Amino acid sequence: MTVSQKTRGSALRRRPQLSDDVAAHVRGVIMSGGVRPGEFIRLDETAAELGVSVTPVREALLTLRGEGLVELVPHRGYVVAPLTRADVHDLFWLQGQIAEQLAVRATPAVTPEVLDEMRDAKDRLAKAVANRDSDQIEDLEFGFHRLLNRLAGANKLSWFLLNAIRYTPAHLYSTDPQWGTTAVASHEKLIAALEAGDAQEAGRVTRAHFTDGAERLLAHLERIGLWD
């Protein structure tokens, strides 16, 4: 089974030229259950379907092997590694912990100008959700949180969060109107907490955003029978 055969129309947003583009795509497909534990990812077919040579696909799979998402079966190729409910919980727990700390640290540094930027980003996100523009939703969601994280003055924490969120299947959320509505409401609560200078509430709202993401992904994977 190949990656693109299991994506059900979820195409790459741009033609990948580097192995990390391919790795990001395959990572998202694995985390959303598009390819399941025990299924093989074929290099030649995957390369052809993604419009790249075999080399970046091979390099991408080496990267994913290092992350524990795929395993190499001698003389047969790469197979998707087991993914447990605890794995999903742990990934989102880590994201939530880091994001919460960044929100707490950033709160004292928030200015009226930043709040205006965040309100504008929130309004544009609401519009993108209404239009079901998944690409725009993903960009705006990332940009909204980046505005806040940059104020925290914690480059190492921000770097760890950036690496942790690689395992979030963004397309799963950006194509879910219910998640979009919830995200906009979460942003409104966060802006209100920041405007009030309430660092603890800003952290709580941020952590809840990631808890909600974990619950939605787990429900999705249960629904498609990943662990049947």
Cβ-proximal residues to 214 (8 Å cutoff; 6+ apart), any chain: 88, 89, 91, 92, 93, 96
The pTM score is 0.89
Kindly report, residue by residue over 72-114, the tens digit of the pLDDT.
Answer: 999 899 999 999 999 999 999 999 999 999 999 999 999 999 9
pLDDT of residue 228: 87
The number of CA neighbours under 13 Å toward the Cβ of 108 is 5
Cβ-proximal residues to 58 (8 Å cutoff; 6+ apart), any chain: 43
Cβ-proximal residues to 213 (8 Å cutoff; 6+ apart), any chain: 92, 95, 168, 173
Cα 162 versus chain centre, distance:
9
Q: In whole numbers, what is the pLDDT of the chain averaged over residues?
A: 92
Residues 169, 174, 178, CA angle at the centre, nearest 5°?
115
Listed in order, the ranges of the chain carrying CATH 1.20.120.530 are 85-223
18 pLDDT higher than 60: yes
For the structural domain made of 4-80, what CATH number should be given?
Answer: 1.10.10.10
> 85-223: what fold?
Four Helix Bundle (Hemerythrin (Met), subunit A) (1.20.120)
pLDDT band at 17 (very low <50, low <70, confident <90, very high): low
Listed in order, the ranges of the chain carrying CATH 1.10.10.10 are 4-80
CA dist 104 and 88 (Å) reads 24
**Residue 9 vs residue 38, higher pLDDT:** 38
